Amino acid sequence: MIAFLGTGMLGSGFVRAFVRRGEQVHVWNRTPEKARALEAIGVRAFDDPADAVRGATRVHLTLSDDASVDDVLERARAGLAPDVFVVDHTTTSATGSALRSARWAERGVAFLHAPVFMGPQNALESTGTMLVSGNPAHVAALEPALSAMTGKLVHLGETPEAAASFKLLGNLLLMFLTAGFADMLMLAKALGAPPESAATLLDHFNPGATLPARLRRMVSARFEEPSWELGMARKDARLMLEEAARARLDLHVLPAIAARMDAVIAEGHAKSDWTVLGKDALE
């Protein structure tokens, strides 16, 4: 039997997929109505997390943050079987993940952090990406079950907090891309280009394929022989900011980028490849 604690949109997707695969599932949610709504598909809902996990061979969690994970696990502790596996899919801090892994290891409970790059539909369809790190024996024991939950399972090694770190890195990248799209659409507005037209840019120019090589170049600190000089990139940033200013519109991300460019240029890197913007992270 599997217990699932936290049946919001993502958690309920996982639960429905478990049921489709013929699993017996117990569920709990802080808002009981969300858990009880799943009884229609054959799961058992409980008001107490300790009751929900009693007899479970695996306990999965999708909650909101470190504090909620710690709180719910403490409340469930009395019902945990000695040989249970606890798998937390919550996006948490790396620090919290490391502390939590150590705490539960001291208590003799196999705990793994396995955050995901998945939405509710991915959880239902068992597609997307799941990250996992921690005790290799625990990962090996759980790999078949975790692989069935997702299209891709990425094992990031023995360091307990590695999965949490990678999840935060991925979410940071998504935030930058989304904020960049917002600035791009604002610049399109300043230029008189309809948003629908601006949205076709990726049909003609899609830099996605170049991103891995650009990141590798940055990590290797190969800033000589530039493909795009930082000084020229700063010129283009100036043009964008000027166009927005003429239209009396504000860009929110580009000014911070321009300020960083100015600081690095002042250090003598105007002729370096523009990936030199990441040099401080490598020192």
Residues 6+ apart with CB under 8 A from 24: 1, 2
Starting at the earlier edge strand, list the strands of the sheet with 25-28: 44-45, 25-28, 2-5, 58-61, 85-88, 110-113
pTM of the model: 0.93
What CA–CA distance (Å, rounded) separates 183 from 41? 44
Buried b (16+ CB within 10 A) or exposed e, 144-170: ebbeebbeebebbeeebbbbbbbbbee
Return the half-sphere exposure (C-beta side, CA atoms, 13 A cut-off) of residue 187: 21
Domains of the chain, earliest start first = 2-165 (3.40.50.720), 206-282 (1.10.1040.10)
pLDDT one digit per residue (tens) for the chain, 283 residues: 999 999 999 999 999 999 999 999 999 999 999 999 999 999 999 999 999 999 999 999 999 999 999 999 999 999 999 999 999 999 999 999 999 999 999 999 999 999 999 999 999 999 999 999 999 999 999 999 999 999 899 999 999 999 999 999 999 999 999 999 999 999 999 999 999 999 999 999 988 888 999 999 999 999 998 999 999 999 999 999 999 999 999 999 999 999 999 999 999 999 999 999 999 999 8
